[in-house]
Chains A and B, each alone.
Chain A
Amino acid sequence: MQQLLNTALGGLTLGMVYAAFALALVLIWRSTRVVNFAQAPMAMVTTFVALVIVDAGHSYWLAFAAALASGLVLGAVIERVVVRPVEGGPEINAVILTLGLFIVLHALAAVIFGNRYRSFPAPFGVRGIEVGGTTIALTGFGIFTILAVLVTMGLLLLLFQRTDIGLRMRASAFNPEVARLLGVRVGRMLTLGWALASVVGSLAGLLIAGGSLVHPGYMDSVVVYGFVAAVLGGLDSPFGAVVGGLLLGLALSFVSGYVGSQLVALAALVILMLVLVLRPGGLFAQTAARRV
């Protein structure tokens, strides 16, 4: 019973991070039809920005805010400088560029920050909370992780559903030409979309790093899990990304807890293949006529 609970709690926490990361991928995919493979190293770079600030003796929260802000800037700059020039060409060009960016950011981070493991602080305890004499696998930092992702999702939902700028962003994603005719500056909306996605990716990076070790490749496996989660929920659906992330987190946690931790990566790939074979549009795919 206790193992079941702990496995579920661990899966929930991990699932929230995957959900955030999947959301970052979906935000970019649905507006620019690009799977941003550079999302992981982008998040890694911003985590290192936070680490530099912490190492300089400043507070965790300042570092946290600086990492998110640098994520915002990094996302916007990459969209403008790297992605914009290939826009209008085949979409595969942009995808290959993000793969190139993956390698470049990795190499740069290794040069600037060093290619070794460094410990990253957590603002809350990373020991399990005691409930009725037994310790459960929910840590203070885990609770913070869950809340941070939930708040971020709530804010994004408000932005997209309740504000004019959100309406402009959705219109630009769904039908850029019609959006332009209605006076929407679509290019700016795409930049903003990349910037926001990058912030969400940075958040995921910070949450993975908290109380753990970071090095230039520490987010690489997360991009795989985040991608699986996004495909699981249907790449077009932010809601699907969140549910996909949670399901994947739980599934992998149970595989790790009951089958064997060495099988986690394999299990993720099996899930990916099953989804692609059985429901290629994702669990929440609407009708195929969506983008007519």
Chain B
Amino acid sequence: MPAMLTVTDLAAGYGPVRALDGVSFTAERGRVTAVLGANGAGKTTLLRTISGLHRAERGSVDLDGQRLDRVAAERMPALGLAHVPEGRGVITELTVEENLRLGALGRAGKVDGSDLERVYGLFPVLADRRAATAHVLSGGERQMLVVGRALMARPTTLLLDEPSLGLAPRIVAQIFELLRGLVESESLTVLLVEQNARSALSIAHRGVVLNLGRVVADDDADALAADDQLRHAYLGF
């Protein structure tokens, strides 16, 4: 079952620099929540703090009643949270299948072949290249690999970091189409961090707009996309 992710008054930074300054929002069960904003708005720090890679200075993160803000990053997969780093997060020295198998090792319980087959079913292009070193994959294929690898852990919640980063527009459209299908078929809660606001809002139910570490808007995706002033000021389209 998808989980509900609640972030309350979260603050984090790097030395004297405040990257997040009292961020609160809820990613609803089974829905896609987009986190939008310009470079430096705090989007990536938000994901890294939720998944335990970066320490929160204040505030809390809660996944279906379980406090996450003092949990080490390596325990998150067992709790159902999968942080999907951007496409560069494939381990290029390992094969496609080794990357996928690695994804299943972090979760509780046994791994079996059915998980691999399920991911290969979702991303047939990975099945064709299962024995290849991930190093040879294209940008789009890498993005599919990191998403597929996260699904191997059977997560309830996906944190997606800039799935469109560095991809050609045609590939971006393809990736978002895949993500849309995934959300419908897999019943996941998704927190999607994107600079490409237009693409993100096309699959998101809700949107949270960050600016300089603070939430400046939190509304239905349609309402955000319709707000001309907000679009021009923060979303760049």
Contacts and interface: CB of A to CB of B under 8 A. Distances in A.
Contacts of A181: 51, 53, 73-74, 76-77, 82-83, 85, 89
Nearest to B82: A181
A184 interface: yes
Interface stretch (A13-21, A76-84, A167-175, A266-274): A167-175
Interface in B57-96: 73-78, 82-83, 85, 88-94
B93 A167 contact: no
Given A167-B102, A183-B77, A177 B53 contact: yes
Given A171-B94, A174-B91, A182 B106 contact: yes
A115 to B, nearest CB: 44
A182 B105 contact: yes
B163 interface: no
A179 B149 CA distance: 12
Interface string A150-181: 00000000000000100110110011011111
B57 to A, nearest CB: 19
A126 B53 CA distance: 56
Interface string B199-235: 0000000000000000000000000000000000000
B140 interface: no
A178 B74 CA distance: 10
Contact of B74 (A175, A180, A290): A180
Nearest to A181: B83
With a 10 A CB-CB cut-off, give which of B53, B74, B83, B149 has the most chain A CB atoms: B74
A186 interface: yes
B30 interface: no
B88 to A, nearest CB: 8
Interface in B81-138: 82-83, 85, 88-94, 98, 101-103, 105-107
B23 interface: no
B74 A185 contact: yes
Nearest to A177: B53
A184 B105 contact: yes
B3 interface: no
B102 A182 contact: yes
Given A167-B102, A175-B91, A182-B102, 5 more contacts: A167-B105, A178-B90, A179-B102, A184-B105, A184-B106
Interface of B: 51, 53, 73-78, 82-83, 85, 88-94, 98, 101-103, 105-107, 149, 153
Interface of A: 164, 167-168, 170-171, 174-175, 177-186, 290, 292
10 contacts: A167-B101, A174-B91, A178-B91, A180-B74, A181-B89, A182-B153, A183-B74, A183-B107, A184-B74, A290-B93
